Amino acid sequence: MMRWQMRRRLMCLLSALDIWVKGIVQGVGFRPFVYRLAKRYLVNGWVLNGADGVHIHAEGEEKLVDEFVLAISDSAPAAAQITEIEMHEVPIEGYNSFEIRTSDASAEGEHTLVSPDLATCADCERELFNPEDRRFRYPFINCTNCGPRFTIIDSLPYDRASTSMCEFKMCDECAAEYANPVDRRFHAQPDACFDCGPCVSWYVPSGLSDSGDAEELRSEASQPSLRPSGSSDAVFAAAVDMLCDGKILAVKGLGGFHLVCDANNAQAVAELRRRKRRPAKAFAVMCSRLDDVRAICQVNDSERKLLEGSQRPIVLLRKLPGIKTPKGIADGLPELGVMLPYTPVQHILLNDFCAAYSRLRAKDAQRSGQGTNVPMLVMTSGNLHDEPIVINDEETYEKLAGIADAFLGNNREILSRFDDSVVRVINTGDSDAIQFVRRARGFAPMPISLPPSQVSREDDSVIFATGPEQKNTFTFVRGADAFVSQHIGDVENAETFDAWLQAKARYEKLFDLAATALACDMHPEYITSKWAHEQSEKCGLPLTLVQHHHAHIVAAMAENGLSDAVCGIAFDGTGYGPDGAIWGGEVLLSNLSAFERFANFAYVPMPGGQACVKHPLRMAYGILWEFDLLEHPGAQLALQALGAEQAKVCETMIENGLNTPYTSSVGRLFDAVSALLGICTEPTYEGEPAIMLEAAINFTTSENSNNAAYEIAVVKNTATAQSTAQDTSVVLLDAEPAIRALLDDFAAGVAVSIIARRFHDAIVDAVITVAQLVAATYDIRTVVLSGGVFMNRYLIEHALAAIQREGFTVAINRDLPPNDGCISLGQAIVASKS
């Protein structure tokens, strides 16, 4: 009798749960992690990958099963992102062990997420350089904690057969690791070694045209050589020899090719610029280790975590004062874009190059006088000007033939195109924040989670937002998940638009996304907007047209979980306004579905339209004409570079309304000031005048005298009978007093660096002024800042500090760039509220 009672009591202490884990839980070592937890907590049952996440059946003592579930939530792998755990009590089935089961592709109605690619982990890096390890210097070493993910996945569930690793059959040793639940490579889908995995290739064309033109690859070219197991050292030795000789390589990474050269070799850098037709835009560099980075740049703890983390983006770091950085990399700029190696190929290449670099500097007096003592490599996207990064080896041989002297590739196919992410750490007052410049590898396709207040459509709806034309991303919104694509680029040419279509198709396939509604920019001539109109008509899908700057503000609201009305300040270069003008200096009273235009910078003419972007002195002329300052001595001095003939052309265009749109753009105002001060009159890349204007500030210290301040005046706007709250503001921001004071200083010989800082401070003061006006008029005390102008470190940090000093709540883009890379998210949110 007692035995029966004891047995019943023990049975009552047992429980069984079916557990469903949602989020980024595939390709991050989640199943072996669960297996190890099950062994620790004496839990029996199974775990498997489904098309909708990870499923677990757990049986054991009730207290231990509860602790098992808590451990899943609290100690998941670093690369995993759990969004939800569902549990259901179920009958005990009597399992006497725990196993990892074959993936289940039958689940319907729900969807799983996919991990971004992960940088080589510390364990794999140790093995990579351990002569006793069988993967010593294997260029594709990985485990469940690191390696390629999204860029090699063809379909879900995430199993080897569904990736570009499917053609590589594991050897017995790798298969044993793969099948061993306690091994770090248990179910690591890209697992491989010299005997069974991908191998590097080395291709040196027989010669390249001296002209550097991509189409002139000589007909007699050697074929790429795939190196068999154990012989990749010869490839890396040849690559390092060429880098030390000042040559340029194309090196295959996770999401595409890089163009690579010795960053300390000024001749090599200059030749890369000539061949790539990139005369001035800064290059990113890759250093071997953190200590090397600290030898040339300031690195705080937040920046260190980014450099060494699993995403490994390019981090824009402030150069150390007085430290000489390599010529031609980021000349005249206060920041340097730096990253650490994130693939085994990069680790080996940097390791070998650093050793060779030290030897060369020791024996070559001329070389030791160049560059720095820090070995580093230029790592820039492998693409032709304005085209997407190349990912296919054969295509690379053709497209980059006039740029690269040799090609270090491999036979593992890249299925998704990804550039490197670019970030900086900014000071928000009480803490640091990451500001994205470009969101791509390491972060996409991780979705942005939306609170319920930001999604209004039915649960089964899928909104597709096409994004803008420049710095394009697209967004799918399904339920609480916003899938914002990786950076696509400027979809103004056929090649980039094709890449946009390919990326869209891959998201649709992997995440089972079929659009039920569309959103696009209201600009009628954007390629993405034209596509949206065509698809709406063809497929009968509702289409929401979203104003560009409203999308900016809504994106930042969504990233910060805001839904109530805000004072949205959107400063950028170009955005189509409802009145047909070019907007770009906007203060909007905004919620998630609608906006009113409270203030804007006063319109100024753009003689020649887009020609003003390429020739900012034309923009300067238009501003001076509008403000009646052409006869000012400072203006006369500044416009000498424009020339009398061009000045007459600009005057004629403005006065006759010939190709002269009007704009409120703050971006164009920055361009004009940069040109007036002689800082940048003929830009070679988008945003260069404003970037160099900010850089000029670094040559002076701040002033405390209010007498030196420039003023952006506030004047009441005038409405017409046709005016609406969307196209006509309450007040105007008049830059005339600031430009007049600037010209006074310029004519008086005040240092350009001081003038540049005073102009920036005037913009900050204008931000505070309009925030105070909105608060006084509407009692709205939440300020949202977005737009490409806020990519300016000085401007954003000083604006944040000033806004917070005035007692406002302030929000900025945190998950996406403030530039047009955030527009598609804003479009999707507005459409969801329509």
What pLDDT is stored for residue 284 in this prediction?
A: 98
Q: What is the mean pLDDT of residues 461-489?
A: 96
CB 761 within 8 A of CB 788: no
What pLDDT is stored for residue 610 in this prediction?
A: 93
Judged against a pLDDT cut of 70, whether residue 797 lies above it is answered with yes
The whole-angstrom separation of Cα 597 and Cα 712 is: 18
Cα–Cα distances in angstroms (integers) from residue 74 to residues 24, 69, 115, 575, in the given order: 15, 9, 19, 44
Asked if the bond preceding 131 is cis, omega within 30° of 0, the reply is no
How crowded is residue 564: how many other Cβ atoms within 10 Å of its Cβ?
Answer: 10
Q: How confident is the model at residue 371 (pLDDT cuts 50, 70, 90)?
A: low
What pLDDT is stored for residue 324 in this prediction?
A: 85
The whole-angstrom separation of Cα 798 and Cα 424 is: 16
What pLDDT is stored for residue 325 in this prediction?
A: 87
Judged against a pLDDT cut of 50, whether residue 279 lies above it is answered with yes
Q: What is the mean pLDDT of residues 386-396?
A: 93
Which tens digits make up the pLDDT trace of 178-208?
988 888 898 899 999 999 999 999 999 975 4
Judged against a pLDDT cut of 70, whether residue 227 lies above it is answered with no
What pLDDT is stored for residue 53 in this prediction?
A: 87
Which tens digits make up the pLDDT trace of 694-748?
999 976 555 544 457 899 999 999 988 889 999 999 999 999 999 999 999 999 9
What pLDDT is stored for residue 438 in this prediction?
A: 98
Q: What is the mean pLDDT of residues 227-246?
A: 84
Half-sphere exposure (Cβ direction) of 566: Cα atoms closer than 13 Å: 29
The whole-angstrom separation of Cα 431 and Cα 436 is: 16
Cα–Cα distances in angstroms (integers) from residue 265 to residues 271, 327, 336, 340, in the given order: 10, 8, 17, 19
Range with the poorest average pLDDT among 188-202, 358-372, 652-666, 717-731: 358-372
Cα–Cα distances in angstroms (integers) from residue 103 to residues 52, 154, 158, in the given order: 11, 15, 8
What pLDDT is stored for residue 453 in this prediction?
A: 73
692, two tokens: 């160099």
The whole-angstrom separation of Cα 679 and Cα 691 is: 10
Half-sphere exposure (Cβ direction) of 32: Cα atoms closer than 13 Å: 20
What pLDDT is stored for residue 21 in this prediction?
A: 94
Q: What is the mean pLDDT of residues 348-362?
A: 89
Coil vs helix vs strand at 465: strand
The whole-angstrom separation of Cα 83 and Cα 290 is: 33
The whole-angstrom separation of Cα 470 and Cα 105 is: 38
End-to-end CA distance of the chain: 69
C-alpha closest to that of 348 among 241, 232, 188, 250: 232
| pTM value surpassing 0.95 | no
Which tens digits make up the pLDDT trace of 552-598?
999 999 999 999 999 999 999 999 999 999 999 999 999 999 999 99
Q: How confident is the model at residue 102 (pLDDT cuts 50, 70, 90)?
A: confident
The whole-angstrom separation of Cα 10 and Cα 360 is: 73
The residues, any chain, with a CB within 8 Å of residue 422's CB and separated by 6 or more, are: 284, 313, 314, 316, 337, 436, 437, 438
The whole-angstrom separation of Cα 353 and Cα 341 is: 13
Judged against a pLDDT cut of 60, whether residue 367 lies above it is answered with no
Coil vs helix vs strand at 141: coil
The residues, any chain, with a CB within 8 Å of residue 704's CB and separated by 6 or more, are: none
801, two tokens: 């500090």
Judged against a pLDDT cut of 90, whether residue 113 lies above it is answered with no
The whole-angstrom separation of Cα 34 and Cα 144 is: 13
Q: Which of 148-157, 207-216, 670-679 has the highest mean pLDDT?
A: 670-679
What pLDDT is stored for residue 218 in this prediction?
A: 28
Q: What's the chain's average pLDDT?
A: 91
Q: How confident is the model at residue 115 (pLDDT cuts 50, 70, 90)?
A: confident
What pLDDT is stored for residue 369 in this prediction?
A: 53
Judged against a pLDDT cut of 90, whether residue 220 lies above it is answered with no
What pLDDT is stored for residue 110 in this prediction?
A: 53
State CA 314 to chain mean position distance: 9
Judged against a pLDDT cut of 70, whether residue 209 lies above it is answered with no
Q: What is the mean pLDDT of residues 314-336?
A: 94
Which tens digits make up the pLDDT trace of 816-834?
999 999 999 999 999 999 8
Which tens digits make up the pLDDT trace of 481-535?
999 999 999 998 899 999 999 999 999 999 999 999 999 999 999 999 999 999 9
Q: Pinpoint the alpha helices (H) of 1-89.
A: 2-12, 30-40, 62-74
CB 56 within 8 A of CB 46: yes
